[in-house]
Amino acid sequence: MGHATLDLVDQARSCLAEAATASTVNDRFAAAHLGALRAAAAVLAARAHPAARRTRNGSGRRRGHGPRNVWELLPAVAPELTEWAAFFAAKAGQRAAALAGLPAAVSPREADDLMRETETFLGVVCVLLGLPYREPVDTAAPGYLLPPSA
């Protein structure tokens, strides 16, 4: 397994640790989604093969096909992750809104749910890649946004 794959798994864990200690729900959501992106990228790094050049101009791009994102590429190299790819792709718009700082981009519940889903996804990715799963650092810390005590 290459260094890039291992680095991406470590980055996914770091994103989850960042999400756990985020001060806003937008930051929590964005960091959790980025963690999922990093985990998916680790699968691509481990399994993907460079596309053969199919054009005469040497650009390497096939005609009519622009760049594709991780969630579009993942099912081709890991069909067992197709539902995960669809789930996280559906959250990309909310991540963009959260990164833009829109006040109602995500609710605390949505941010917490996405963080838990990302933790589960990272565990699935680790098993798929034959890596030991380690809990992200600080997820038990003042992580999840809970309603204030009365």
Q: Where are the domains of the chain?
A: 1-52+67-129
With a pLDDT cut of 90, the percent of the chain lying above it is 70
| Contact yes or no for 9/131 (Cβ under 8 A) | yes
- What integer is the mean pLDDT of 65-85? 90
Q: Cα–Cα–Cα angle for 135, 90, 67, nearest 5°? A: 100
| Confidence grade of residue 32 (pLDDT, cut at 50, 70, 90) | very high
pLDDT of residue 133: 73
Instruction: Kindly report the backbone phi and psi dihedral angles of residue 50, in degrees, each rounded to the nearest multiple of 5, phi listed first.
Output: -55, 140
Is the predicted pLDDT of residue 28 greater than 80, yes or no?
A: yes
- Which has the minimum average pLDDT: 30-34, 65-69, 111-115? 65-69
User: What's the mean pLDDT when you consider all of the chain?
Assistant: 84
| Confidence grade of residue 128 (pLDDT, cut at 50, 70, 90) | very high
The CA distance from 71 to 60, in Å, is 21
Is the predicted pLDDT of residue 68 greater than 50, yes or no?
A: yes
Is the predicted pLDDT of residue 106 greater than 70, yes or no?
A: yes
More confident residue, 44 or 54: 44
| Confidence grade of residue 146 (pLDDT, cut at 50, 70, 90) | very low
Is the predicted pLDDT of residue 125 greater than 80, yes or no?
A: yes
